Chain A
Amino acid sequence: MKQQVKTITKKDFSTFVNTLIKDGTYEVIGVQAKGKRFAFDTLSSAGDLRLDYDVTILPPKKYFLPQYEMLLKFSLQKPFEGKETLLDAPRIIIGVHPYDLIALEQTDRHYLDQQQDNFYKKRRENTLLIGVDIQSVSERSFAASMNTNTTDTGFDLLLTDIGANYAVTIGTEKGEKILKKYATVKDATSTDLNKIKTARNTVLKKYKQKVKIDKKDWSSLLVANYDHAIWEERADVCMECSSCTMVCPTCFCYDVKEDVSLNLKQGNRIRTWDGCMLKDFTKVGSGEVFRDEVKERYRHRFFRKGNYLPERYGFVACVGCGRCGIACLPDIADPCNLINELAHFNSESDTGKYFIKEDNEVLEKGIIHLPRSATIKKVTKCNELDSLFEIELDDKKPLGHKPGQFVEVSLYGYGEAPFGISTPPGNTPVFEIMVRQVGNVTKKLCSLQPGDKVGIRGPLGNGFDMKTLEGKTLLFTSGGTGMVPMRSLINHVLNPKERNKFKDIIILYGAKRPKEITFMDDVDRWKKIHDVQCELTVDKCEPSECWGGCTGLITTLFPKIQADKLDSKNTIAVVIGPPVMYKFVIKCLQTLGIPDDNIYVSLERRMKCGVAKCGHCQINGVYVCKEGPVFNYGQLKQLPEAL
């Protein structure tokens, strides 16, 4: 579609802006000077607009994903009451550069394509964007190399300074309407159109920073250099301050926190910017940090931009604004610089792939923050550390989960935490989770009684694809709390209605100590079934503990497998346990001759949002909360961050 172009005199444009401000329908935001830099801020007069700016300190993302944003308001007095709140008025943002418009279009893909974020969506709908063609080029910008120096989309109106007038390109109907209502414009002549081209070309010559590698080739360049020494060399001087991600228009990961009023009566659930350069970004309740080394975090940031998001959405998540280059004190954050440096080492071995394409996309629209109310029905102590919670959804609708899926349990004032579901699927609103006291949420959960309320989001994650297990011998290996989701799977396949779909079943289960064994009743029951072999071991046993069974790591159970039962090519192995366990168990499985593609694992990461938005659970380019937690090992082994 050919876009309409109008012209407006600069004086009339000022009148247009001042009319908008006076009219009050919209909050009018524009680029203004802030010291010797520039920033988007509420505009009180057209005279404060600085459309000749080079780059703002923060991108306009702050108007769509604010630094701090209230997701829910909750009461700590009433049993369970939470409300989503969004109070922002309609806005017009004047002076957005093309690269920032493109960054917003990229953010749209993440927040609007699937499981839409209501807050982001509402703000996008409520906001008109008046873009402006770049007049001054920031010292560090390389937008021309990224092809983001100009754009035909992403704006309602786009201004180009063509001397005495602005050319106004109309991008949307909304833009056209507002222009009609508030401004005096003329149709652009062919001379005007030529002036737009000339203006853009003049600016193009001003770029000092250039990337030597075309952006479509960033991905393979990065992949070829995954293990390059540059990551460590640069990470050595990294301040770990995450300034680079804070100022980035395409960094949109977030954290969620609870803010409770001093009288403990009510509170807010707050979303705030988080940065993958910070150590706590990947930290889970039990204290484990999954991207512990600075080098890993430093590399992750570049791979996310140049490989992970391009694989997922088809765009390089860097628009060349140069903000990170300005913000980084040791000056190691600038992608232009890093890519050019890597270009010297371009090698041919780009065989790695750090992304798993999901086959079945679950489309779910609407609210993703608000939990459903549920009631604790029963609490059973499994052992010294763990308690089993039976929970019923208050709307009495079935949870509708698959084995291997999880729920986010929400306690207002304390936060949310993910829990594997330990009961098999069924047409019931009742399900069980196991809770081990490790953090704020689990500690509080353990103090709750039957009748108390909790919030539930989910079921989340992919769960097991039961079709792939059919007709196969099943070898289940679980360690520690890995038995929680495993129990759901085992009891599902042992269900008389399902049982004939599968061949023999072998269950290997290891716990640290006898007192840490969970679901002993189930284990005893499984042992009595004729076509089920169930073996149990504990790592260690004090003389004071009563234990007549096997002692040793989980791997000691493998020789006990009755060889006649195991047709390795027709066996599916499922492994769930603590991170350290996988490597050793997988080696045992390979020794048994089980192909990698027949091995499934379920992984633990920091799953904060549960819907592939917040970014915390990423293993290379994969969101564990959505594409996992169940993975095929044949695919997973290509992800260096996985095991």
Chain B
Amino acid sequence: MKQKPRVAVFDFADCEGCELEIADLEEEVLDLIEIVDIVSFREVMKDHSDDYDIAIVEGSIMRPMDEKRLRSIRNHAKILIALGACATMGGVNKIRNQWMPEDVKKEVYGTADLKGNELFDVFQTKALNEVVPVDYYIYGCPIDRDEFKSVITAIALGKKPEIPRYPVCVECKKNENICQFELGSFCLGPITRAGCKAICPTHNSPCEGCRGLIKKADTECVKEVLDRYKLSYEDIRRRCTMYNYGRKECSYDE
């Protein structure tokens, strides 16, 4: 029998929620380990091996020591998968990029002497692909378990994973939700990549754009909608800060 690919799961600056989603596959974990060997996954197991084919990496890169570790992971792995908003695009960790790293440190740690301590040696937050090449992206905060499964099975079958390039509205409409705008709320669904099954608006919470923008916030159509709903560019800018700070729209082919 062909040897199963060896998979390792790693994390950087994150909440580990996306890894938890993998752990939450529950009995389907048995299906997963039928097609891959999991050799490292700190959140759920003690064993660790540096011999792996596929690295699944959660979290964003905040410090030189992170960068070094990520490069080493990249060197070990044939395939690198970015897992979740922090890894794919920087996510909430990029909110910090509004300020200079030194100012942030001062705000949080005051006058404490952090010199020479590499744990506190932070730079502006980066997504994984700002440091190393990334082969596959699993978007979301947290990721969608079904999409995780479809990406893994696609890789196992040698297919290109099908990640939607249309907005959340498509899935939201299929769920027969009342539009958040109709409810007087303000939602990023129309400009955010689908694939989450519109989970937030389906549970009556507007989209925060955690899977990345597929349209710039300053395109004509967005302006038109903001005008129509008496919102300002400032409203959308602030909403986009949560997950998409400093990020342009995803390219069509990303």
Q: What residues make up the interface of A, taking CB atoms closer than 8 Å to B?
A: 34-37, 39, 57-58, 62, 67-68, 236-243, 246-247, 257, 259-264, 272-273, 275, 278-280, 326-327, 329-331, 413-414, 439-440, 443-444, 447
CB proximity to A under 8 Å, residues B175-192 = 175-179, 181-183, 189-191
Q: How far apart are the CA atoms of A79 and B152 in the complex, in Å?
A: 23
Of the residues A58, A239, A243, A246, contact of B215 by C-beta under 8 Å: A239
Q: What is the number of residues of chain B that contact chain A, defined by CB distance less than 8 Å? A: 43
In contact, A329 and B225 (Cβ under 8 angstroms): yes
Across the interface, do A242 and B157 meet the contact criterion of CB distance under 8 Å? no
The dominant DSSP class at the A interface is loop
Q: Does B224 belong to the interface (CB within 8 Å)?
A: yes
Chain B's closest residue to A277 (CB) is B166
Write the nearest CB–CB distance from A323 to chain B, whole angstroms: 10
Q: Are B221 and A237 in contact (CB under 8 A)?
A: yes
Task: State in angstroms the CA–CA spacing of A67 and B170 once bound together.
Answer: 10
From A37, A239, A272, A331, contact of B169 by CB (8 A): A239
A247 to B18, CA, bound (A): 33
Q: A178–B158 Cα gap in the complex (Å)?
A: 53
Query: Can you list 19 A-B pairs, Cβ within 8 angstroms, ordered by A?
Result: A34-B178, A57-B176, A58-B176, A237-B225, A239-B191, A242-B166, A243-B169, A246-B169, A246-B173, A247-B173, A259-B150, A262-B25, A262-B28, A264-B34, A327-B173, A329-B179, A330-B221, A330-B224, A413-B157
Considering the complex of A and B, which 3 residue pairs feature the smallest CB-CB distances, nearest first?
A: A246-B173, A263-B31, A241-B169
Chain A residues closer than 8 Å to B118, beta-carbon distance: none
B22 to nearest A CB, angstroms? 11
**Known A-B contacts A35-B178, A237-B224, A447-B158; A262 and B149 likewise in contact (beta carbons under 8 Å):** yes
Task: Supply 4 further A-B pairs (C-beta < 8 A) apart from A237-B220, A413-B157.
Answer: A58-B176, A242-B166, A247-B173, A329-B190
Given contacts A236-B220, A239-B190, contact A262 B153 (CB under 8 A): yes
CA distance A62 to B176 in the complex (A): 10
Q: Which residues of B contact A439 (CB under 8 A)?
A: 160
Query: Is B35's CB under 8 angstroms from A263's CB?
Result: yes
Q: How many A-B residue pairs have CB under 8 A?
A: 117
Check: B131 CB closer than 8 A to any chain A CB.
no
Q: How far is the CA of A440 from the CA of B224 in the complex (A)?
A: 38
- Residues in B with CB closer than 8 Å to A264 are 34-35, 153, 156-157
CB-CB < 8 A to A261: which residues of B?
A: 31, 153
Kindly provide the distance from the CB of B42 to the nearest chain A CB, expressed in whole angstroms: 22
B173 touches A243 (CB 8 A): yes
**Chain B residues within 8 Å of A440, by CB:** 159-160
Chain A residues with Cβ under 8 A from B183's Cβ? 35
A275 to B173, CA, bound (A): 12
The 8 Å CB contact of A242, one of B158, B169, B178, is: B169
Chain B residue with Cβ nearest A257: B162
The answer to whether B174 touches A67 (Cβ under 8 A) is yes
Asked if B230 is at the interface of the complex by the 8 Å CB criterion, the answer is: no
Partner of A262, one of B35, B165, B179: B35
